Amino acid sequence: PVLVVDFGAQYAQLIARRVREASVYSEIVPHDISAAEVAAKNPVGIVLSGGPSSVYEDGAPAFDSEIFELGVPVMGICYGFQVMARALGGEVAQTGAREYGSTDMAIGGDGGSLLAEQPSAQTVWMSHGDSVVKAPEGFEVLASTASTPVAAFANPARGLYGVQWHPEVKHTQFGQDLIENFLHDAAGIPADWNPGNVIADQVAAIRAQVGTGRVICALSGGVDSAVAGALVHEAVGDQLVCVFVDHGLLREGERRQVEEDYVKSTGVRLVTIDARERFLSALAGVSDPEQKRKIIGREFIRTFEQAQADLVAEAAADGDPIRFLVQGTLYPDVVESGGGSGTANIKSHHNVGGLPEDLQFELVEPLRALFKDEVRAIGRELGLPEEIVGRQPFPGPGLGIRIVGEVTFERLELLRQADAIVRAELTAAGLDTEIWQCPVVLLADVRSVGVQGDGRTYGHPIVLRPVSSEDAMTADWTRLPYDVLARISNRITNEVAGVNRVVLDVTSKPPGTIEWE
C-alpha cells in the first residue's frame, strides 16, 4: 500500500482518496507509527498529511524520522512537508507570512518529476502559519510563492519530496496531477488498484472467513448494504439470505428496486418484512425529531430481530445455523471510530437503523477498506442497477425525518410524490453527479395562503435542500439552474395536492445540517 500518515485534522482521508483515485491502494496510519511498523507493512510509498500543529511546539505530533531512511519514497504535504524539512536538517520558522486559501505559486526550473509539464504559474490552496525557510541539504527547491520562498522541494536520489500547499483539495489547480506524478513517476508505483481486483480479493477473503456457514444481510435500500450483499452473494451464493424491512418511510419505487431490480441482477434470496403499520402506529402523535429517530431506530431493531429470529430458527431446524452478519461498514467509518489503524477516536459510528448490540453473529464487512466512490464502482462491476449504485445518501430514518411535524400516511404519500418529482427533474437535467443529495422536506406544521385556479388555498410548503459535499461533514447549498428550479416548483404545486409553495434552502453546513431533523 501507500501509507498516508495522519497528523490530525481531516486531510488524511482526503489524501487517501486521491491516491486511490490514482488507482493505487492507500491506507491511513497514525503519526506515531514506528519505522519498524511501517517497514512491516511493506509500503511502496508514503504521504505525510497536513495537520493543525507547529513542528516546534511542545506536544507537536511525533514522527519517527527513521522512516525517511527506509528507502521508501515519501511526499510531505503542508505540516508533513515541514516535519520532513525539520527532520532532515532544514529550517522551519514562524515568519509571520501566513497564507490561507488560493495562492499564486511559481515553479522554478523544470519542476522535477513532481511538477513536470505543468504551467509555471498556477493557483494552489495554502493553509499555514509556519514556513520552511531553508531546504535540507541535498534538496532542490522546486517552487515558491510571494511569501514562501521554499514552497516545494525534492531530493530525487533519496525519493523524498514535499509541498507546502494542499494538492488533495480541489481548489489546487494541478493537485491530482501532482499526486499522480509523485506516485507513478517519482515513486514508480503502477496504477493497478481497480474494482475487478478488489472484487477478486474480497470474494476470496469472504470465502475464507465464512466457509460453508450461513450468512444474513440487512438491506437498507442504500448503496453500501446492496453492494456488500452482492459481494457476499458472489462469494458464497445461497448461503446468504437478505432481509429488507419496509418501514413505510421509503421513497417512491425503493421497495420495488430492492425486490425486483436488485434480486434480478444479483440472484440473492430476499425476505421482505412489511412493517409499515407497525412504524406508523409507533410514530403516531410524535413531532419531536429526536423522539422520532429513537422510535424508528427501536422499531427497526425489533423488526429485524424478529425476522432474524425466524430465519435463525428455520436454519437451526436444518441443523445449519446462521453464524454471520454482513455489514456495509466503509473505510471512513473504520478510520473515524479509530479501528484498524489506531487513529484518534473522532466518533463512534453507528450503523443505518442501529443494529442490536448483543448480536450473536460474527460480522462480515467486505467494504471495510473502501471509500464510497469505490463501493459504487464495485457495484457497477457486479452488475447492480444504476438506480441502486448511483443512489444518493438517504438517512436510515427515511422520510420520517423529512416531515417536520407528525408523520402520517397521507403526509408520507404527499412527500413521496414531491420527492419523486424532484428526483426525476434533477436526473433529467443531468445534475445527479453534481449534487451530493437533495433532501425534499415537508413542513407539515406550516401553512401559507395561496391562490390556485379561482380559489384561495391554504397549503403546506415543500423545501428543497440541494447540497454539494465531499463527505457530508460539511456542505454547501448547490446553485441549481433557475429553469430547473422553476420546473420543479411548477410541477410540485400543480401535481401534489396540498402543496402551494416551494422554497429553497440556501444554508451551508455548518450552520445548518443537511437534513432538517
393 binding ligand XMP? (CB under 6 A): yes
End-to-end alpha carbon distance in the chain: 40
User: Is the peptide bond between 289 and the residue preceding it cis, with omega within 30 degrees of 0?
Assistant: no
Query: Residues in contact with ligand XMP, total (CB under 6 A)?
Result: 11
Binding mask 448-487 for ligand XMP (x = CB under 6 A): ------------------------x---------------
Any binding-site annotation on 225?
A: yes
Query: Does residue 499 contact residue 492 with C-beta atoms inside 8 Å?
Result: yes
513 binding ligand XMP? (CB under 6 A): yes
349 binding ligand XMP? (CB under 6 A): no
435 binding ligand XMP? (CB under 6 A): no
CA–CA separation, 399 and 247 (whole Å): 10
Phi-psi region of 13 (alpha: psi -120 to 50; beta: other; left: phi over 0): alpha
352 binding ligand XMP? (CB under 6 A): yes
CA–CA separation, 135 and 158 (whole Å): 14
> Which of 387, 515 has the CB closer to ligand XMP?
515
Any binding-site annotation on 112?
A: no
515 binding ligand XMP? (CB under 6 A): yes
Q: Phi and psi of 36, rounded to 5°?
A: -65, -40
Stretch near ligand XMP under the rule CB under 6 A, chosen from 33-41, 120-128, 394-402, 448-456:
394-402
CB 147, min distance to ligand XMP, A: 36
337 binding ligand XMP? (CB under 6 A): no
355 binding ligand XMP? (CB under 6 A): no
DSSP line for 352-395: TT---TT--SEEE-TTTT--HHHHHHHHHHTT--HHHHTPPP--
Any binding-site annotation on 428?
A: no
CB 414, min distance to ligand XMP, A: 20
Interacting positions 220-259 with ligand XMP (CB under 6 A): none
Q: Which three cell numbers stand for residue 376?
A: 459504487
Query: Does residue 203 contact residue 235 with C-beta atoms inside 8 Å?
Result: yes
Beta strands in 220-280 (DSSP E): 240-246, 269-274
Q: Which of 84, 154, 164 is nearest to 124 (CA)?
A: 164
CA–CA separation, 332 and 152 (whole Å): 29
Residue with cell 400516511: 409
Enumerate the active-site residues: 78, 166, 168
261 binding ligand XMP? (CB under 6 A): no
Stretch near ligand XMP under the rule CB under 6 A, chosen from 177-185, 331-339, 483-491, 507-515:
507-515
Any binding-site annotation on 267?
A: no
> Which of 491, 509 has the CB closer to ligand XMP?
509
> Which of 144, 469 has the CB closer to ligand XMP?
469
Note the residues at the interface with ligand XMP (CB under 6 A).
352, 393, 395-397, 437, 472, 509, 513-515
